[in-house]
Amino acid sequence: MMKIKYGFALLIVMLVVTVSCKKDDDDGPAPIPPRDRGEEAIRAQAEIEAFLETHFYNYEDFDADPNNFKIKFDTIAGENASKTPLIEQVTSKVVNDIFDTDVDYKLYLLKVREGGGERPHFSDYTTTTYDGRLMNLDLFDSSVIPIKLNLVNGKSAQEVGVIRGLQQALIEFKGAVGEPITNPDGTLSFEDFGIGAVFIPSGLGYFQSSRGDLDAYGQLIFSFQLFASEVADHDGDGIPSYMEDLNNNQYLFDDDTDGNGLPNYLDNDDDGDGRLTKFEIEIIDGEIFFPDTNGNGTPDYLDDTI
């Protein structure tokens, strides 16, 4: 059973990963067009696979100490020449590019421990700690205190959330079993929580944007601990946000039934008929039902004729 203590109250803050944008002056230099996303996907996969073939993680520490929770990476060389390379320990999933749906990525995941609790949906909140590193293993971002992440992924600074690569990794893990335990000394304990890492191609990260220590078109590594998740209903309309993904692409900003510029997951009147969505659905014993009063195949909350 995996357990960890924190000697402070659990800090819950919202982390919004955004990229600031500034309009170029009319007389300034012309912006450089972004690279082809398909070509970058190929280059990114090759770079990540080269890293996986030449690096390992501290799997022996996890074998020796069941309470260990910190992933460390190093090069396979010298006294580490016999270590098992990451390429033999990772799994992968195919993730589509929301900017160019003709492009798919192979997202590599290191599942050290899946976790024994609930698995988050792609639009949920998660309580997480993490390290963000460049491919040379330099640290560019970190939180040793559990923070609350909004997993909704967007295309711009106005569309809040984490980068798609991290979002798509976290939903493959589970949080801790049960609620956090408050110990007599005021610390918190989590049992059997998820722990892993993801190797993110730039197309599922920041792509052409450079920020701080991040270079444009750079691949990223996030290692993380997933303690808990919370089903999100961002607009409070009674429908969990993950259920407002009508086209099932795990991107919520292109689901806008009434075309008012506000995606359904942020719109408490999805069909724009003047009647709030929460009054056009039924919730019985925690189960959601979607009435179709006129029997036309469109539920009332998406039908502006009702």
Mean pLDDT along residues 274-299: 96
- Nearest one of 125, 139, 133 to 167, comparing CA atoms: 125
Spell out the alpha helix ranges (H) of 68-219: 164-170
Mean pLDDT along residues 117-144: 96
- On the question of pLDDT at 262 being above 70, the answer is yes
Structural contact between residues 242 and 251, judged by C-beta atoms closer than 8 angstroms: no
Mean pLDDT along residues 180-194: 83
What pLDDT score was predicted for residue 65? 87
- Nearest one of 171, 163, 159, 173 to 71, comparing CA atoms: 173
What pLDDT score was predicted for residue 257? 97
What pLDDT score was predicted for residue 244? 97
- On the question of pLDDT at 107 being above 70, the answer is yes
Which residues, other chains included, contact 222 with Cβ-Cβ below 8 Å and sequence gap of 6+? 130, 131, 132, 133, 165, 166, 169, 197, 198, 200
pTM: 0.86
Q: Say which residue, 198 or 67, is predicted with more confidence.
A: 198
Q: How many CB atoms sit inside 10 A of residue 198's CB?
A: 26
Domains recognised in the chain with CATH numbers: 3-17+35-230 (3.10.50.40), 241-302 (no CATH)
Element (H or E) spanning 108, and its range?
A: strand 104-113
Q: What CA–CA distance (Å, rounded) separates 70 from 116?
A: 18
What pLDDT score was predicted for residue 229? 95
Q: Is 146 helix (H, G, I), strand (E, B) or coil?
A: strand
What pLDDT score was predicted for residue 267? 97
Q: How far is CA 61 from CA 57, 73, 174, 191, 222, in A?
A: 9, 12, 21, 18, 19
Which residues, other chains included, contact 228 with Cβ-Cβ below 8 Å and sequence gap of 6+? 117, 118, 126, 127, 175, 176, 180, 190, 193
Q: How many CA atoms lie within 13 A of 171 on its CB side?
A: 22
Mean pLDDT along residues 192-205: 96
Q: What CA–CA distance (Å, rounded) separates 137 from 32?
A: 28
C-alpha of 32 from chain center? 29
What pLDDT score was predicted for residue 230? 96
Torsion angles phi and psi, residue 104, rounded to 5: -115, 155
- Nearest one of 271, 300, 19, 30 to 159, comparing CA atoms: 19
Task: Report the DSSP pairing between strands 287-289 and 73-75.
Answer: unpaired
C-alpha of 236 from chain center? 21
